[in-house]
Chain A
Amino acid sequence: MQTEPWEDDLTELLRRHFGNRILEFASYRGQKFLIAQPEAVVPIIEFLKLEAQFDYLVDITAVDYPQRSERFDLVYILYSFARNERIRIKTRIPEGYKPESAVRVHPTANWLEREVYDMFGIEFANHPDLRRILLPEDWQGHPLRKDTDILAMDNEWVRRHLGIESGQ
């Protein structure tokens, strides 16, 4: 990805408070994002909400890179009504790492984190209600991981609940 550097009052403010816990400020196609250490993400989101009016958490999602040692990208998209500005916060986490939940800062994170858990198997620490959301609760596997094939399904679940051999 051919990124450009991102420098303005916001990056200065964040640098002052988080120092080297933020690894990179960049922009791609005019869209600003920063890469931070996993532990720093929720403090940054909270800081941005309280100090820079980023009061709307648009989305949380993940991207799987199975060949990388830090397997997942976690992506948080934030928007500020007052500044009319959108930024992304990205972090890299290895398999089994439990990122802190953002629910206490933004209640909307509840379902968004549940979906990330459901689809990728990333467990959020201190989430109030971490259950699957789109798939059945007793389903095995996490479909949006790259090593899950598109035709893969929990055949055991299908047999048990639907009484048929396969859903395909």
Chain B
Amino acid sequence: MAERTYLGADELILNMGPQHPSTHGVLRVVLKLDGERILRADCVIGYLHRGIEKIAEYRTYQMFAPYVDRMDYVAAVSNGLGYCLAVEKLLGIEAPPRAQVVRVIMTELNRIASHLLWLGTHALDIGAVTPLFYVMREREEILNIFEAYCGARLTTHAFRIGGLQYDVYEGMEQQVKRFCKMFRPKIDEYEELLTENRIWKDRTIGVGVLTAEDCKAYGVTGPLLRAAGVKWDIRKAQPYSGYDRYEFEIPTRPNGDTYDRYLVRIQEMRQSVRIIEQAIEDIPEGPIMAKVGKVIKPPPGEVYVSIEAPKGELGYYIVSDGSTQPYRVRVRPPSFVNLQALDKMARGGLVADIVAIIGSIDIVLGEVDR
């Protein structure tokens, strides 16, 4: 602790955000500083709160589906998949095999797109400008596939309850294969820019450490948990949508710092390419919709279904009262829960590191605030 001066300036409150380029949206962090050291980091959130859970109670099950895309808008496909799976569980139905494979392809493409955007902005925050242009170039290819598939690039509403609305378009297989072939060496390019880069390593190694114990205590999931050495991924632990049919690994790292989170996400992109390549080779013939009536009326009951979204465990807890509208929809957002650990990660660190740490959590404020 610094010596008390006559001005009483040993502690300083610094307000960061809500309009700050590296808070990735409208996050406000109130930092309590002792010189350059962070004593405390308090998050102020809610600037993007739209009451999505309330809206759900006033919409039918189908009508609510496009809304979930607006939570984590850089991974809209994942949000949609989780919601569809939850309602399907409530109805006691399953999407047909063809629909499931297309879902896996789209979701994994979306995971890559989400990780790419994270990589570009995170690197930009720390001062590496070049990767942003590279990742945007590759992300564009994915968004083109989304656009050709369903007409939308970001908030896709790609899936329907019970399956898909759109079948595979002509030339999709070739386009996805072309993307995979093109993308693999691009990951090496990003790694060449960053992985052994002295500045990158200095800014990220040992920064914002969260141990496996801390992760469990704070409910932190996704790449942060895996970077702390816990080999846990819902796609493996409790497979959904036929993920058990594909060969892939869960990348982990031992140190739980910002650098390891970077490496885990890089590896995850490689694994996603692996999954897509297996899935695209083997799209079964058959229907794309299960038998679902025009009116969706699940029997009274409640389910909690969660998936491995790019940011962590994304869960939907839905209560049905037997009507066409959900009685209650609760979204368990990974960004919200992971952000809670920011204070733990930032304490004792330098004020310059807060930017790297926020970037390493990979939050989307649309999902934090809902």
Question: What is A's interface to B at a CB cutoff of 8 Å?
Answer: 1-2, 28-29, 31, 55-59, 61, 63-64, 75, 77, 81, 84, 86, 88, 106-108, 110-112, 115, 119, 132-136, 143-144, 148, 150
Contact = CB atoms under 8 A, between A and B. Distances in A.
B46 A144 contact: no
B304 A86 contact: yes
A56 B330 contact: no
B37 interface: no
Contacts of A143: 51, 54
Interface centre among A29, A115, A119 (most CB of B within 10 A): A29
Given A134-B46, A134-B49, A63 B319 contact: yes
Given A29-B303, A63-B327, A77 B315 contact: yes
B317 A1 contact: no
A138 B267 CA distance: 45
Nearest to A63: B328
A108 B340 contact: yes
A144 B53 contact: yes
Interface in B222-273: 230, 232, 237-238
Nearest to B219: A108
B55 interface: yes
Given A29-B92, A108-B340, A134-B49, 20 more contacts: A2-B301, A28-B303, A55-B216, A57-B219, A58-B306, A58-B332, A61-B317, A63-B327, A84-B237, A107-B217, A107-B218, A108-B217, A110-B340, A134-B46, A134-B370, A135-B49, A136-B46, A144-B54, A150-B51, A150-B57
B336 interface: yes
Contacts of A107: 217-218
B237 A111 contact: no
B216 A59 contact: no
B367 interface: no
Interface in B200-221: 216-220
A84 B237 CA distance: 7
5 closest Cβ pairs, A-B complex: A108-B219, A134-B46, A61-B330, A59-B332, A1-B301
Contacts of B317: 59, 61, 75, 77
Interface centre among B219, B237, B327 (most CB of A within 10 A): B219
Interface in B45-89: 45-46, 49, 51, 53-55, 57-58, 89
B303 A111 contact: no
B337 interface: yes
Interface of B: 45-46, 49, 51, 53-55, 57-58, 89-90, 92, 216-220, 230, 232, 237-238, 299-304, 306, 313, 315, 317, 319, 327-328, 330, 332, 336-337, 340, 369-370
Contacts of A134: 45-46, 49, 369-370
Contacts of A59: 304, 315, 317, 330, 332
A150 B237 CA distance: 38
Contacts of A132: 46
B25 to A, nearest CB: 14
13 contacts: A31-B304, A55-B216, A58-B315, A58-B332, A64-B328, A75-B317, A81-B230, A86-B238, A108-B219, A111-B336, A150-B51, A150-B54, A150-B58
A28 B300 CA distance: 10
B298 to A, nearest CB: 10
B46 A29 contact: no
Given A29-B90, A59-B332, A134-B45, A106 B219 contact: yes
Given A29-B92, A86-B304, A111 B340 contact: yes
Contacts of B313: 58
Nearest to A109: B219
Contacts of B230: 81
A56 B219 contact: yes
Contact of A135 (B46, B55, B327, B337): B46
B83 to A, nearest CB: 16
Contacts of A1: 299-302
Contacts of A64: 328
B315 A133 contact: no
A56 B221 CA distance: 10
B217 A106 contact: yes
Nearest to A1: B301
B86 to A, nearest CB: 11
B315 A81 contact: no
A29 B54 contact: no
B332 to A, nearest CB: 4
A56 B337 CA distance: 12
B327 to A, nearest CB: 7
B302 A28 contact: yes
B318 to A, nearest CB: 10
B164 to A, nearest CB: 23
B216 A81 contact: yes
A58 B313 CA distance: 9
Contacts of B54: 143-144, 148, 150
